[in-house]
């Protein structure tokens, strides 16, 4: 039974990573740097909590969470595609902005500086019995199919690898990137939504770096959806192990926290197979 518990907990921890990493893959494959996953997730978590609180309905919360991620995805897209602002700066600005906005509106909506009241949530009692979890598990296979087997996926990859060639063939690169970044916002927003609904409330800064772990999974997975998904599961398994070992003092928790980041640096340095970014990643045109 311990194995089943372990796998269940790993999947539950992996769900937000899977959503956000899927968003990261699609944005980066289209050529837009995805440093704002953390901000998308946090905004999604907050709007999901707002929606679920004021409607009392989980699925309204889910829709609001998607909308919250979408809003900042669009801001990211407009700033970095329409205004050709530096994508790295835009990503960091959005992360800071969302931290501030969620705190501001937390005060405004709930008169609290730390958390929302209890909201309708997933009520899975530690199990996997909720459609949102199944959607989270399906998002990577679906994304793999979209990226490699559909015309849209081909255009996304073309926009990220060779935008000039794509443009020559009649693909509107900026439009493809708009869609990709918007979808990435929605997916990461869903990841945040899952966090808020799972914990039955929004707490200040509740994403706690998960957007960056998802980014690490994208890079560690070499920008491939399936590998990124596996990286999410690996990172989640490490976290689960740390939680289950708590109290035994086998490994200090801080070292387990480092695993995703250290592996990403190792992957980037090319020690075990080189991790190469899409060729046009971060370029304005």
Partner 1 sequence: MTETLSPPPPPPLSAASPERVTGDRAHHLEEALLPPLVALLIALIAGDALILIFGQSPGPVYRLLLEGTWGNWYGFGQVLYKATTLAFTGLAISLGLRAGLFNIGAEGQLAAGGFGAAITGLLLPASVPSMVVAVLAMAAAAGGGGVVGWVPGALKARFGAHEVITTIMLNFIVLALLNWIVAAHVHVPETLHTPEMHGGSLARLADISARFHGSAANLTILLALAAAVLTGWWLFRTRAGYDLRAAGLQPDAAEYGGIRVRSVWVRAMMMSGAIAGLGGVNYVLGYKHYYEEGFAGGSGFLGIAVALVGRNHPLGVVLAALFFATLSQGGLAIHALVPKQMVEVLQGIVILAVAAAVPEVRRLLQATRREDER
Report the distance separating Cα 240 and Cα 251, nearest Å.
Answer: 13
Q: Which is nearer to partner 1, 96 or 250 (CB)?
A: 96
Q: Which is nearer to partner 1, 14 or 33 (CB)?
A: 33
Q: Which is nearer to partner 1, 1 or 249 (CB)?
A: 249
The alpha carbon of residue 273 and the mean position of all alpha carbons in its chain are separated, in whole angstroms, by 24
**Shortest reach from residue 187's CB to partner 1, in Å:** 20
**Shortest reach from residue 208's CB to partner 1, in Å:** 11
**Shortest reach from residue 181's CB to partner 1, in Å:** 14
**Shortest reach from residue 270's CB to partner 1, in Å:** 5
**Shortest reach from residue 260's CB to partner 1, in Å:** 8
Q: Which is nearer to partner 1, 53 or 212 (CB)?
A: 212
- C-beta separation of 227 from 140 below 8 A: no
Which among 210, 215, 177 is positioned nearest to 193, based on CA atoms? 210
Q: Which is nearer to partner 1, 62 or 70 (CB)?
A: 70
**Shortest reach from residue 82's CB to partner 1, in Å:** 8
Which among 140, 145, 197 is positioned nearest to 19, based on CA atoms? 140
Which stretches of the chain bind partner 1, using CB under 8 A? 33, 35, 75, 78-80, 83-86, 88-90, 92-101, 103-104, 107-108, 113, 209, 212, 215-216, 219, 252, 254-255, 257-258, 261-262, 264-265, 268-270, 277, 284-285
- C-beta separation of 185 from 72 below 8 A: yes
Which among 13, 11, 9 is positioned nearest to 213, based on CA atoms? 13
Report the distance separating Cα 193 and Cα 232, nearest Å.
Answer: 17
Q: Which is nearer to partner 1, 44 or 153 (CB)?
A: 44
Residue 194 DSSP class: H
Q: Which is nearer to partner 1, 121 or 189 (CB)?
A: 189
Report the distance separating Cα 192 and Cα 15, nearest Å.
Answer: 10
Hunting for tokens 């799972």 — which residue is that? 198
Query: What's the distance, Cα to Cα, between the start and end of the chain in Å?
Result: 53
**Shortest reach from residue 12's CB to partner 1, in Å:** 22
Report the distance separating Cα 278 and Cα 253, nearest Å.
Answer: 34
């Amino acid at each position: 039974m311990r194995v089943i518990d372990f796998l269940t907990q790993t999947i539950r921890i992996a769900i937000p990573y899977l959503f956000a990493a899927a968003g990261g893959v699609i944005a980066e494959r289209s050529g837009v740097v995805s440093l704002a996953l953390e901000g998308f997730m946090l905004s999604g978590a907050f709007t999901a909590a707002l929606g679920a609180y004021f409607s009392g309905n989980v699925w309204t919360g889910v829709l609001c969470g998607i909308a919250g991620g979408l809003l900042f995805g669009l801001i990211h897209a407009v700033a970095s595609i329409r205004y050709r602002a530096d994508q790295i700066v835009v990503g960091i600005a959005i992360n800071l902005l969302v931290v501030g906005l969620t705190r501001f509106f937390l005060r405004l909506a709930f008169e609290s500086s730390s958390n929302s009241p209890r909201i309708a949530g997933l009520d899975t009692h530690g199990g996997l019995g909720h459609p949102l979890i199944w959607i989270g598990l399906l998002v990577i296979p679906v994304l793999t199919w979209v990226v490699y087997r559909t015309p849209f996926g081909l255009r996304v990859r073309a926009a990220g690898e060779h935008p000039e060639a794509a443009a020559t063939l009649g693909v509107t690169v900026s439009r493809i990137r708009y869609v990709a970044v918007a979808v990435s916002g929605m997916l990461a927003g869903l990841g945040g939504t899952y966090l808020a609904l799972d914990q039955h409330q929004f707490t200040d800064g509740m994403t706690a770096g998960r957007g960056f772990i998802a980014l690490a999974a994208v890079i560690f997975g070499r920008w491939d959806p399936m590998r990124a998904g596996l990286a999410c599961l690996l990172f989640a398994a490490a976290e689960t192990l740390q939680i289950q070992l708590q109290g035994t003092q086998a490994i200090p928790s801080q070292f387990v926290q480092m695993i995703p980041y250290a592996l990403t640096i190792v992957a980037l340095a090319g020690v075990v197979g080189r991790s190469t970014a899409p060729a046009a990643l971060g370029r304005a045109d």
